[in-house]
Amino acid sequence: MRATDSPSRSSVALSTAGNAGVGVVVSYAPQDGFNPESHECVTRMQIAEQLAALKGYEFGGEYDQTARYPEALYYVPSRTLLGSEGARLGIRDEDDLFGGVVPYPFVGTKTITHPLPYGNAHTPEGWCSHFAAAVEDAVLGGHAAFTLEDAERAGAKLLERGCVRVKPALALGGRGQVVVRAISELGAAVREIDAIELVSCGVVLEQNLEEVKTYSVGQVRVAKLIATYVGTQSLTTDNQGAQVYGGSDLIVARGDFEALLALDLGCESRRVVQQARIYDRAAHEHFPGFFASRRNYDIAHGRDSNGRACCGVLEQSWRLGGASSAEVAALEVFRADAEAQVVRVRCVEVYGHCERPPPEARVYFCGADEKVGFITKFTIVEPHADTR
């Protein structure tokens, strides 16, 4: 059972004859293909439909480059867009999409988080060493590399201090990451990465943490509404037995980071919010051409190989993400109730057959996906005690 029927591309393309001046929200996944049965597509379609209601636009389904659309077109992409692609689509600023636009491919990945291992290491076009310096106090120890040789040298340096996590730039949801403890393991892990991906987007080699608690800090801006949040992620076991993203539990404030920090947050939550702000400001300062209406930062708190407590931003997400259903649900609350200032929202992903979601939940997907097997995805909105 799914929450909604999955439309075909042809059935949802909107011909706008007679509707001049009416804005349209469309899902956009050009390189991922259009599989209306996948859990990603079904979820993205529903979120796009919710965003259309928030903006007072029509919902146009999946983007069709052969269709005629009105001037106001709003995209919900499956990934962060390059500036050239955004310009071709008519995306000028954050009001034209739910997601982000970056000037170079690597800027939308986790490789911007860390410096190069040494001064003359290979760099892609657009690399900015000033960014890594600006966020140094807000991230974990690590390096970015764009060749096998540089990755192995960077990993060798980090292994002197303990275990190293190898993170391919384009891997999502914790998939594809490997923890290595020796040089021999390091070489094998790095050689698993696609050669073209390594040169264009790179790989991250980062100190590995144990007893990890992962926070999410972010902000979304849609239709003059701003929502900023902090919360924690959970892990779950997928149908292949791997530990993967299982959902987020967020406290969402109406307004910007200052509105969030005005809430009665714990010391640890306040710290990760401040780290996310450092990262967010540095991205805007050091990467001209970057803009985003959806900005999410994953932050890990745990212990390194020596038992020392560590905390830092792992990566950014300037695209539709696992927590986006919760983000949009919070925006709906703030649009419906002008007095609402804070809300708690939970999104959950469960693999395999499970109990029926609570009756108050909005179910985005419940069924068999050809890639991941049976999965259920739902979101629940709850009141939060701090109403300031």
- Lookup: tokens for 242: 């791997």
Residue 288: which of 135, 144, 134, 131 has the closest Cα?
131
pLDDT of residue 4: 45
Residue 7: which of 52, 53, 42 has the closest Cα?
42
Going by C-beta distance under 8 Å and a sequence separation of 6 or more, which residues neighbour residue 59? 12, 24, 25, 48, 49, 52, 53
For 63-128, list the strands marked E by DSSP: 73-77, 81-82, 100-102
Q: Do residues 167 and 203 lie in contact, with contact meaning Cβ atoms separated by under 8 Å? A: yes
Q: How far apart are the first and last CA of the chain?
A: 40
pLDDT of residue 305: 86
Per residue in 224-276, pLDDT (tens digit) is 999 999 999 999 999 999 889 999 999 999 999 999 999 999 999 999 999 99
- Taking the C-alpha atoms of residue 115 and residue 117, their distance in angstroms, rounded to an integer, is 6
Going by C-beta distance under 8 Å and a sequence separation of 6 or more, which residues neighbour residue 2? 42, 363, 365, 366, 367
- Taking the C-alpha atoms of residue 201 and residue 213, their distance in angstroms, rounded to an integer, is 27
- Taking the C-alpha atoms of residue 279 and residue 282, their distance in angstroms, rounded to an integer, is 5
pLDDT of residue 225: 98
Domains in the chain with CATH codes: 9-104 (no CATH), 109-208 (3.30.1490.20), 211-382 (3.30.470)
pLDDT of residue 254: 98
User: Mind listing the pLDDT tens digit of every residue in the chain (388 residues)?
Assistant: 445 444 444 334 444 433 445 799 999 997 666 688 899 999 999 999 999 999 999 999 999 989 988 778 999 999 999 999 999 999 999 999 999 999 999 999 999 999 999 888 999 999 998 999 999 999 999 999 999 999 999 999 999 989 999 998 887 655 678 899 988 899 888 888 888 889 989 999 999 999 999 999 999 999 999 999 999 999 999 999 988 999 999 999 999 999 999 999 999 999 999 999 999 999 999 999 999 999 999 999 999 988 999 999 999 999 999 999 999 999 999 999 999 999 999 999 999 998 899 999 999 999 999 999 999 999 999 988 754 4
- Taking the C-alpha atoms of residue 300 and residue 86, their distance in angstroms, rounded to an integer, is 31
SS3 percent helix, strand, coil of the chain, rounded to 5, is 30, 30, 40
Going by C-beta distance under 8 Å and a sequence separation of 6 or more, which residues neighbour residue 273? 217, 230, 257, 260, 261, 265
pLDDT of residue 378: 98
Q: Tell me the β-bridge partners of 376.
A: 350, 366
pLDDT of residue 383: 83
Q: How far is residue 339 from each of residues 323, 330, 342, 381, measured CA to CA in Å?
A: 24, 13, 9, 16
pLDDT of residue 169: 86
Q: Tell me the β-bridge partners of 179.
A: 165
Torsion angles phi and psi, residue 209, rounded to 5: -110, 150
pLDDT of residue 71: 73
pLDDT of residue 19: 47
Label the pairing between strands 225-237 and 210-222.
antiparallel
